[in-house]
Each structure stands twice: as structure tokens, then as C-alpha cells.
């Protein structure tokens, strides 16, 4: 295989990887929506879930399915709306805050600072990898040269003559 064949194979693999990542995000979004629908319909029918869900998984489900940043109060209200029993916690909002902070620390959620009491969390989508092709690397290198030029302290239009070092005898002669 030639160098160009490898380049085409790399571009095809990268393109497929990005497409599959986009499909995964769509599937995750739809699964979260369906889980919320199932929870809500089960509650309306008076059914109890056969597999009890913990608070952490329920919060993951709610935040992932929301698609928009949510405050801890929003998360608690959404948990109640899908039928999750938050009454078993002495302080349901404190429990939600604790889980949100832990999920943020683990990188699953992203904290969005707002006005006091209005901070929000959003699902932290995975980063899409970018392949640095030869063109991109060349442009980055060119921009580095531009950056260096912008921070130059003098213009080298004319070469400067080399500075001569004076010896001790020349300094004494000058001083006298």
C-alpha cells in the first residue's frame, strides 16, 4: 500500500468513527426518553418497576434525557415526574446535590456556574476525535511562525553588525 492509500483508509476510518459516535448519542438520547416514558406510564398504571433503580442511575437517566442544562431542583422534580420515589431520603434535594457533584467529579456531568442557587448540570458528551492531516499540521506550523512574528521586539531589515567585546585595557584607555 502506498502512503496515499493509508491516508484514504485513515480518513474513512475516522469518518465512520464520527458517524458511529453521532448514532450512539442519538440512541442514548432515545433510550433515556423511552426509560422516562416507561417510568411515567408505569406510575400512571400503578405498576412498580421489577428492577429498582438507584438514585445515581435515575439521575443519569434524567440528565441525559433532558438535553438541556438542569438545576438540582429541576432534577428532583423530574425524578418525581417519572415516578422515582424520593420520599425515602430524609433530604431529597441534598441527596440529589451529592449525586450531581459526584457525577461531575467523575466527568459524566458538566457543572455550569450561574447565579447563586441557579447552578446547572448537563450531560458531558464525549469529545469527537480529530485527525490532524498534513494540511492541518502545516497550517498550525504556519500560525506558530505568525505568532512568533507578532511578538518580535525588533525588525531585522538590516543585519546588525556584531558587537565587539572590549578588553580591560580598552576600557581603561577610554576612562582616562
User: Which domains are seen in the chain, by residue range?
Assistant: 3-123 (1.10.10.10)
Buried b / exposed e along 1-14 (16+ C-beta atoms within 10 A): eeeeeeeeeeeeee
Q: How far apart are CA 66 and CA 87, in angstroms?
A: 22
- The per-residue pLDDT of the chain, averaged, comes to 77
**Residue 26 parent element (H or E):** helix 3-44
Say if CB 3 and CB 110 are below 8 A apart: no
C-alpha closest to that of 75 among 53, 106, 99: 99
Residue 148, pLDDT > 70, answer no
Question: Could you please report the per-residue DSSP string of 89-140?
Answer: STTHHHHHHHHHHHHHHTTSEEEE--STT--EEEE-PPPPP----HHHHHHH
pLDDT of residue 100: 93
pLDDT tens profile 35-71: 778 777 877 887 766 556 789 988 988 888 887 888 9
Instruction: Name the pTM for this structure.
Output: 0.50
Tell me the HSE value of 81 on the side-chain side, using a 13 A CA sphere: 14
Q: For the chain, give the percent of residues with pLDDT over 90.
A: 13
Q: Please tell me which of 13-17, 49-53, 79-83, 158-162 the model is most confident about, judged by mean pLDDT.
A: 13-17
Residue-wise pLDDT for 160-170, tens only, equals 555 565 655 55
Amino acid at each position: 500500500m502506498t502512503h496515499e492509500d493509508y491516508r484514504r483508509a485513515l480518513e474513512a476510518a475516522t469518518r465512520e468513527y464520527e458517524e458511529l459516535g453521532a448514532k450512539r448519542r442519538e440512541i442514548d438520547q432515545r433510550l433515556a426518553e423511552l426509560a422516562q416514558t416507561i417510568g411515567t406510564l408505569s406510575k400512571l398504571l400503578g405498576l412498580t418497576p421489577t428492577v429498582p433503580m438507584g438514585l445515581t442511575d435515575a439521575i443519569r437517566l434524567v440528565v441525559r434525557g433532558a438535553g438541556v442544562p438542569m438545576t438540582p431542583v429541576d432534577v428532583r422534580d423530574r425524578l418525581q415526574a417519572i415516578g422515582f420515589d424520593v420520599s425515602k431520603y430524609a433530604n431529597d434535594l441534598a441527596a440529589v446535590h451529592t449525586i450531581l457533584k459526584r457525577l461531575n467529579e467523575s466527568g459524566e456531568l458538566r457543572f455550569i456556574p450561574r447565579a447563586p442557587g441557579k447552578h446547572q448540570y448537563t450531560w458531558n458528551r464525549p469529545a469527537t476525535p480529530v485527525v490532524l492531516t498534513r494540511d492541518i499540521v502545516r497550517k498550525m506550523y504556519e500560525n506558530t511562525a505568525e505568532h512568533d512574528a507578532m511578538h518580535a521586539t525588533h525588525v531585522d531589515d538590516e543585519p546588525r553588525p556584531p558587537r565587539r567585546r572590549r578588553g580591560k585595557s580598552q576600557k581603561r584607555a577610554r576612562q582616562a
